[in-house]
Structure 1
Amino acid sequence: MPNTNIPVITIDGPTASGKGTVAHKVADRLGFHLLDSGALYRLTALSALRRGTDLRDEHALAKVAEHLTIRFHGGHVYLGTEEVSNAIREEEVGNTASKIAALPGVRQALYGLQLSFRQTPGLVADGRDMGTVIFPGAQLKVFLTASVEARAQRRYKQLIDKGFSANMDDLLADLQSRDARDTQRAVAPLMPAEGAHILDTSQMTADEAVEQVLAWYAHP
């Protein structure tokens, strides 16, 4: 069983709200481990797409999730021995991840893996249901949000900086459909956890958001 005395900070929020960047910086400042739970779903999606798994077959997708060999190291993500940080950020993978994340069998298959990231000296967990489902007893719960327009701008810049092509109208439509899927799914819908601090980052830099999260952690 995981040690519930090990501190956990959960940072949940919609796609492109900046939670990944903020979580990474908070973990770095505190010397904590980092769990990018979204990457687990993206890794499942990437693996399923590569294997040609039927995306309507919940049992087969859960098996893919159960047998992932993954590693996070120095800001890089590995599937087996392959570095896949960029591959899991492709739009097809992200869209597939959002769809399979609605499947109870896949979520259950990844549940224990996520709990295993709780190690000393502490953990910053970033995702959709970190504070509501995976770590409901976390010392600090944050729900990061931003307007869909601000999030589309961030995603556009992210993709262009990485050398991918991007279309703003397509990104807006994609974010709106992902938001609808994430908030309306029957299992672990996207919503602020009980007692969560709400942080709207539409007009904030990542560093300003980090300072706010650290202030909340220092003075609960």
Structure 2
Amino acid sequence: MKYLQIAIDGPAGAGKSTIAQKLAKRLNITYIDTGSMYRALTYKVIKENINIHNKEQIINITNNVDMTISQDNIFIDGEDVTRNIRSQEVTKSVSYIAQIPEVRECLVRLQQKFATNNSVVMDGRDIGTHVLPNAAIKIFLTASIDERAHRRYNELIQKGEAVVYEDIKESIKARDKLDTERQHAPLKKAKDAIILDTTGLDVDIVVEKIIYIISQKS
């Protein structure tokens, strides 16, 4: 195959971004974190003091925002928002914005544009089913709710944020519900995706498993 497209999907806290990023570096191809794109847009909405349920204003921002990805950083209207988009405030709001069909379609077009004429690893919630339905490799990552909550909790604690574990766990449960029940491009496993449960597994082990899957399909 001329270009390799790898789609990695899964719920919040399953390790998608960390694993996809390491995989891309191992394979020396482009990594595209679609979740960061929705988070960046959410950050912009919050910064502009727009109600997250005001669809008209959110769609207007989406259609006019300048979003770029450079290496591991994401920029909104020229501002590097890479760190800002991981705040708990953004995390609590992103699923409400991500479920708006017009927002998703706009960002999907941008994601597909990034993947044109490039070998990519792309992670999100609807990559294998909607964004890159013809990807050669489709992986669905999952993990127990407790594992995912602990990962997110430790990540935020290391960044110096004052968070409560039970709040994180409830936030992930709520996000799972929103992601799986939204009408437009919900979170679900593509029929031809391979499930990998990352509970208790080191990131490097998961990356090796995916590389093995790729070698078997080459």
What's 1:6 paired with?
A: 3
Moved more, 65-74 or 162-171: 65-74
- 1:43 equivalenced with 2:35 (yes/no): no
- Which AA in structure 1 matches 2:87? E
TM-score computed with the length of structure 2 as normaliser:
0.94
- 1:123 equivalenced with 2:124 (yes/no): no
- 1:132 equivalenced with 2:140 (yes/no): no
Q: Residues of 2 paired with 1:28 and 1:66: CA distance? A: 31
2:32·2:121 contact (CA, 8 Å) conserved in 1?
yes
- 1:61 equivalenced with 2:58 (yes/no): yes
Q: Residues of 1 paired with 2:168 and 2:23: CA distance? A: 27
1:104-137 per-position Cα deviation (integer Å, ceiling 9, x unaligned): 1111121210101114440000000000000000
Aligned residue for 1:44, secondary structure, equals helix
2:53·2:96 contact (CA, 8 Å) conserved in 1?
no
TM-score computed with the length of structure 1 as normaliser:
0.94
Aligned residue for 1:160, secondary structure, equals helix
1:73-98 per-position Cα deviation (integer Å, ceiling 9, x unaligned): 34222223322111100111122111
Across the two proteins, how many residue pairs are aligned to each other?
217
- 1:168 equivalenced with 2:165 (yes/no): yes
TM-fit CA distance, 1:164? 1.1
What's 2:190 paired with?
A: 193
- Which AA in structure 2 matches 1:162? K
Q: 1:202 aligns with which of 179, 182, 199?
A: 199
Q: Percent identity?
A: 35
- 1:21 equivalenced with 2:18 (yes/no): yes
1:12·1:126 contact (CA, 8 Å) conserved in 2?
yes
**Map of 1:77-96 to 2, 5 A cutoff?**
77-96=74-93
* Structure 2 segments unaligned to the other structure (5+ residues): none
Q: Residues of 2 paired with 1:53 and 1:114: CA distance? A: 25
Moved more, 31-40 or 57-66: 57-66
Q: Residues of 2 paired with 1:121 and 1:101: CA distance? A: 25
Q: 1:215 aligns with which of 205, 212, 217?
A: 212
- 1:105 equivalenced with 2:128 (yes/no): no
Moved more, 70-79 or 193-202: 70-79
Q: Residues of 1 paired with 2:169 and 2:209: CA distance? A: 27
- Which AA in structure 1 matches 2:58? L
* Structure 1 segments unaligned to the other structure (5+ residues): none
